[in-house]
Amino acid sequence: METKLIAKNPNAYHNYDIKDTIEAGIELSGTEIKSIRNGKINLKDSYAIIKNGEVLVYGIHISPYEFGNIYNKDPLRTRKLLLHRKEINKLVGLVTQQSFSLVPISAYFKGSYVKISLGIGKGKKLYDKREELYMKRHS
């Protein structure tokens, strides 16, 4: 199936040490998908949590569709990620026992569906970020 990148999270690899990624669907309304097709999505300050056995993503900004008037939703509303129960159980174990964070890395089309690449990682310390920048400059 053909994939087409829509948006990337520029801070994901800078702020987190990503160990693994997982692909998830996202629950959207009708005007949100039209806005995404126009490229009006931003993942910059987004994160995901597990609540009541569901994976919810916060901070994804999807601009209102300009022709959607009353059907537009809140641009920063909480959205549900669509994963299999087995995958959610695995994520629950990683987040609670090993204190991993869930960070959306990218959004892309896979066929006609919008998918989110969810990174599983730990937050970097300030000195790790500095060391990484130093290594990039001097290599």
Share of the chain above pLDDT 70, in %: 97
What is the mean pLDDT of the segment spanning 61-75? 77
For the chain, the domain total comes to 1
- The residue type found at 90 is K
pTM of the predicted structure, to 2 decimals: 0.83
pLDDT category of residue 14 using cuts at 50, 70 and 90: confident
Q: Residue 75: its pLDDT value, please?
A: 75
State the chain's mean pLDDT as an integer. 87
Structure tokens, 40: 């009006």
- We report the CATH number of the domain holding residue 82 as 2.40.280.10
Q: What Å distances lie between residue 16 and 8, 52, 94, 135, CA to CA?
A: 14, 25, 15, 17
Domain range spanning residue 72? 3-137
pLDDT band at 88 (very low <50, low <70, confident <90, very high): very high
The whole-number average pLDDT for the span 42-66 is 90
Q: Between the CA of residue 18 and those of 23, 108, 117, what are the distances in Å?
A: 14, 19, 12
Degrees, nearest 5: CA angle 13-121-82: 100
Poorest-confidence range of 8-22, 45-59, 61-75, 79-93?
61-75
81 CB-near residues (< 8 Å, 6+ apart): 24, 25, 26, 27, 48, 54, 55, 56, 57, 116, 118
Tell me what the mean pLDDT of segment 81-89 comes to.
93
Q: What are φ and ψ of residue 128, in 5° steps?
A: -65, -40
Q: Are strands 101-110 and 3-8 parallel, antiparallel or unpaired?
A: antiparallel
